[in-house]
Structure 1
Amino acid sequence: MKIPRRMPTKSAPTDQPVFPGFRLVSSWKGNLLIFGILIAIALGWFFWQVRYAQKTFTDHVAEQTRLLATVIKQHTDTSRSSIDVIEEIIRTFLYNSARFADFLNTVEPFSESELVAFAEEIGLAGIRIVNSPTHIVEGPTGWFPETTIDCPADASLAYSRDADIYYLALPGPDAGCVIVGFSAAHIRQLKEKIGIPNLIAVLSALPEIAYVRITPVKQDSAAHRLEPVVRFFRDDKQQLAEAHLFIDGHQLEVGVTATVFFQRLDQLWRQFFLFAALIAVFGGVLSWVWYRYQMEYVRRIQDYERHLAGEKEDAALGRASATITHEIRNPLNAISMGLQRLKMEGTELSGEHQHLVGSLLNAVKRTNDIISDLKRYAGPILPRVRKFDFTALVSDLVTLYKSNCREKGIGLTFASSGAEDIEGDADLIAVVVENLIKNAVEAQPRGGEIEVRIIEEHDIVRLSIENSGLDIAPDQLEQLFEPYFTTKTRGSGLGLAIVKRIVNAHNGRISLISPSPGRLRISVFFPKAGGRTAVD
């Protein structure tokens, strides 16, 4: 098909504009239009920044509120379980003490002075032996506020608020019974320490937290508000963001200091007025220059804020770990010692209770390990640098794990080209190597193999640990270095994060690859002694 040619038209006269209507807009009006567009753009950018800052801070406050709600709920559940276990232990102790006292009284009736001595010897507040309604022996006198008490049909634990004691009455023959009591002062102090008011006081002392409140509400009013609702308050005295969240029939109110957010808003207002003034004064070219400058400025601000946010997070984590260590580790140690003593001396405990005590000891140990990992991750890493034999260190650790690997059906091999010296903190480097070998062992509960090699690459020493048992996708390997990320059923998820921090503190580098499906190879690079100062 042939396309017809367009017929030539007459050219416009030379005194006419190329674009009709171009001269309809005078130059000053055009400049004004440009300035108006630029100011409108600046205004739109300002409102976007305000909305973005508000959304970011709101999400931060909501996340903090959800985190605190989780902490409070888990703490409440743990406290209830702990008190139930402790009261069961007290009931068992009082029951056995009552049986023993009843047995001794059957052999030879107690006198009042003997009861006092016997109660002090086994740590009781007092003992009352009701041989009959008219024959009662008690020691010490007045330890129990109730002058008369009916002997119950079963031996159940009870609490007297007036005397602040736990007591148990063991029924005996002829309507008699043996009543023994145990001081509840320490238990009451423990309840106060692990109670919600004390937890709220600790949480309220955290950085950026102004207050934490919990109030009961009707269940039906909380049914449709399962996500935090954030509101902002600003006056001459305080600048706060308050979040409300309903948990288990209670309303959690968290006040977060919003000074930084409002300062950011004030800063955005000042920037907007400055932008508008500069655009109006300097015009098109300077507007373009200013735009480029602002883009760079925003980038620097974002980089600075990210850096500052990271430092604040590390500082907050450090303070939180110090608080956790101080507030939790001491009662944990006390509970652990008490449970150990109970396990050694509680020969009267049933097999089920012995198993329960062992489970509690394991739980306390796991909690203590998590606190130690958190403290190590949050604390600064300051290596004590000195030259040492890296090959010998790795060889010793491999030898240490060989018997354990043999029992689990894991083949552990080690190969090295010779002695390799590096400069660093041998203790911290040992933590790195031991963590990597331990993770490799735990990744293969049904047996497998681990290959440990030390390879010299010019002025770099590379430690390679390869094992089977990889159960995540290769594109998710880098997540293993993220804090609290773990594929194990038990663990804090801080092991590899701590390893990476130690390696970075030694100017080294660590990498993860999957050479084949189901296998993981971890490579750690350190500069050789006397060589380069850092690994690229």
Structure 2
Amino acid sequence: MESEHQDLQVKSFQLVKLLSWTLLIVIIASSLGLSVFLAKHADETLLEKQKEFALLQAENLNHQIYRRFILPTLIGYGRIGLKNKEQMDRLDQVVRSTVHSFKVNEVRVYDPELTVSYSTDTDKIGKADLAGEFIKQVLDTGKPRYEFISKKSTLALIFDFHMRPGTMQLKIVYPLRSEKSLNIDENVIMGVMELTQDITEDYQSVINFERLILFTSSFSALILFATIMAIIRRADIVNEQRMQDRRQFEKELNQSEKLASIGRMVSGVAHEIRNPLGIIRSSSELLLKRMKDGDQTNVKILGAIHEETKRLSRTVSDFLDYARPRKIAMSALDPADLLDKIYMFLESKCRESNIELRCNYVHGYQVCADSDLLYRAFYNLIGNAIQAVEGDGYISVFIDETEGGINVVVSDSGSGFPEGIIEKVKDPFFTTKDNGTGLGLAIVTNIVESHNGKLRIGNNPEGGARLEIFLPEKKDC
């Protein structure tokens, strides 16, 4: 059931992540789409303005040609003949004076037969193959036409930071019309004018605006992307941490339930064993006293029985201590004082086993603890270390100040804990010794946790076991 609940949580979070990614993609796509729309709109607006301006230029040029060239020529010469150098020069002067302040690359005038009768590029005068369908349509309909000529695509222009003159041109084809004067009717189409204008500089401002829109949009999308990614990553970490905490809590809860069940069973069994074991122990001790000078064989048998009953009595006491730890009596104490007592009792044993007992601690730290229980916890750890070293080694005991309390560290030069059993050594009845009960570290764990502390088990980098007892700093005892 718990596993199904966890799977549901994981799936729900995955759905949230999917929705977040989808929302991010939609926002970025919308943002970029809006920027492209704005850039396109700005592009179209500028080109529309350029067409309106070009139309005004064409109308003005038409007016100037008609008033300053056609009428005076008809009055002076009776007809227009551009093969006459004087007429050609006069027309050229009118055209150039009209367009000189504007960026007009070329002006052409086509006659009704679609021959170039005038051009600012003199090499093209007289050619009849340059008109094309575009010119014919204007001549037939009498309506102006526009054409934008770009040497590069819009995308290429965005990345071209040094646009050369002539990169973007606007061509307007405008019918050369008469104006009402003398005996000439108004709006008679006499030919076609073609103006090619360089709008690169003006178009550059539009490209710059498009760049600004795209950069702002991309930068905003990038910030949004980074923000949502940070939120998703943070949510991922928090969710993973919560899942780990939940698994750890469930593991500890299951362990507590298991240990409680074992404790109840052990307590019942130990009580049933303790009374008859006490009778056997006292009876064997009494018989030993009576048969002190009797048959030595029987004395040895009784001695073995008495020793085994004492060992079993200690085991039963361990069972009861684990199953029902006694109520602790808190008082302020210095852990170094308890370690000094243990050192005094174990010094000779260590010396016999050629084990160096290093006491690298100082006095002065204060904790709230039950002196008897804490003494037993320290004694068990150091006693286990002596059994692990088995001679020609050392045991180091020191006190290290840490955040919120102190660490009492016991390390040795033994073989250490195999990696596969570190998580199991605190379980009751788990032991690697042939004659052990497996309750030593379980009892130490109960004692430490009853003091709101924590027992950490591991190995030294250089080898050997390392056990740390964390005890919180002294408060009101």
| Bigger-Rg structure (1/2) | 2
User: In proportion to residue count, which structure has more helix?
Assistant: 2
TM-score by length of 1: 0.40
TM-score by length of 2: 0.44
